[in-house]
């Protein structure tokens, strides 16, 4: 499984529509998706699907106009496709690289353990493949529930994940840790799996996806969420996670370089529930890193830290305050597609 910083051909977006939980907030959330799509189009293609055909046609026209203005025509791939929701990170295909080029694996998706309706999302990759959205690249079905947000790859055979997510019985009840490790070795080429047993975010529906907590920013470097406030409900779990990360070693036996990310002020929804704001939910694309910001004082510190972690890439902030009202952020609504798949 390639690292996210490997060359890409596109980013996949599943557009919100009135049949999703975004129905009452489309005016707030669609501009976030547009900001993401326009930022990506500067560097690579966008594979865009939407259940509402008329809205899809409008988006295709507007985004093509934007790409044309940037002198980057032909970068929008738009497909009408049914969807329950918008979390492309978790229902999108997971790429592997092989001797004959990239393959896209179509793992099962059951909405984080049957928490929400999922049948349309589970069929979405096959729908896109039928429209040749992935060119000639093979889409390989895998009868195992796995969300892209639950795993991080260093591109060299090491995966980072959480036991809270992958070992939840509502995903793959017949498989234990050893069985899951074997399957991920067979399907994703994982030689090593680093399991975090601590760490969570309030308001998270995913059972502690790794992409909200800790991320590879190089093969020898992990950045992670750190909570300095001892009075915060997250303090103990995230301190324990930090200790676990300090005990991890690379395949060569060396410890990882570790960088804590800023801890944003608490953000609450209209119902008083704390929302899962995290700067770990950034997206690496060709030449840039898209960083979620939330309108809090720590945003600038987060941009500075990530600029230091990715000095060769442009750092692009995206206001994701509307996204976290549905308990996800920037990385959660995107899925990168490797180079050699989506063509102009």
Cα of 73 vs its chain's centroid, Å: 26
Q: 204 — alpha (psi -120 to 50), left (phi > 0) or beta?
A: beta
Please state, in angstroms and rounded to a whole number, the distance separating the CA atoms of residues 315 and 309. 10
Query: Does 334 have pLDDT greater than 80?
Result: yes
Q: With bands split at pLDDT 50, 70 and 90, how would you rate the model's confidence at 343?
A: confident
Domains identified in the chain and CATH numbers = 8-338 (3.75.10.10)
Instruction: Give Rg (Cα) of the chain.
Output: 19
Q: Which of 19-23, 158-162, 259-263 has the lowest mean pLDDT?
A: 19-23
Residue from 208, 151, 211 nearest 183 by CA: 151
pLDDT of residue 99: 77
β-pair type (158-162, 214-218): unpaired
Q: With bands split at pLDDT 50, 70 and 90, how would you rate the model's confidence at 344?
A: low
pLDDT of residue 100: 83
- Express each pLDDT in 25-62 by its tens digit: 999 999 999 999 999 999 999 999 999 999 999 999 99
Please state, in angstroms and rounded to a whole number, the distance separating the CA atoms of residues 277 and 259. 18
* Overall average pLDDT of the 304-316 stretch: 98
- Express each pLDDT in 211-224 by its tens digit: 999 999 999 999 99
């Amino acid at each position: 499984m390639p690292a996210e910083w490997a060359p890409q051909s596109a980013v996949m977006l599943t557009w919100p529509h009135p049949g999703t939980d975004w129905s009452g907030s489309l005016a707030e959330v669609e501009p976030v998706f547009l900001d993401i799509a326009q930022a990506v189009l500067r560097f690579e293609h966008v594979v865009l699907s939407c259940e509402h055909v008329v809205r899809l046609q409008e988006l295709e026209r507007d985004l093509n106009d934007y790409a044309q203005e940037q002198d980057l025509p032909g970068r929008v791939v738009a497909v009408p496709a049914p969807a329950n929701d918008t979390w492309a990170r978790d229902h999108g295909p997971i790429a592997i690289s092989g001797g004959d080029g990239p393959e896209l694996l179509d793992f099962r998706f059951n909405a984080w353990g049957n928490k929400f309706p999922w049948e349309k999302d589970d069929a979405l990759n096959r729908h896109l493949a039928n429209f040749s959205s992935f060119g000639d690249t093979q889409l390989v079905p895998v009868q195992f529930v796995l969300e892209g947000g639950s795993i991080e790859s260093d591109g060299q055979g090491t995966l980072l994940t959480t036991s809270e997510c992958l070992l939840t019985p509502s995903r793959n009840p017949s498989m234990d840790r050893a069985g899951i490790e074997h399957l991920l070795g067979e399907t994703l080429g994982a030689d090593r799996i680093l399991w975090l047993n601590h760490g969570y975010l309030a308001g998270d529906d995913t059972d502690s996806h790794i992409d909200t907590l800790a991320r590879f920013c190089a093969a020898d470097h992990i950045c992670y969420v750190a909570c300095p406030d001892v009075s915060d409900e997250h303090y103990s779990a995230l301190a324990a996670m930090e200790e676990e990360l300090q005990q991890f070693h690379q395949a060569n036996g060396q410890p990882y370089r570790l960088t804590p990310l800023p801890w944003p002020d608490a953000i609450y929804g209209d119902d008083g529930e704390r929302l899962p704001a995290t700067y770990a939910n950034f997206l690496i694309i060709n030449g840039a890193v898209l960083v979620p910001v939330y309108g809090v004082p720590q945003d600038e510190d987060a941009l500075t830290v990530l600029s230091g972690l990715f000095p060769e890439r442009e750092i692009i902030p995206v206001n994701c305050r509307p996204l976290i009202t549905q308990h996800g952020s920037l990385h959660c609504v995107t899925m990168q597609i490797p180079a050699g798949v989506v063509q102009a």
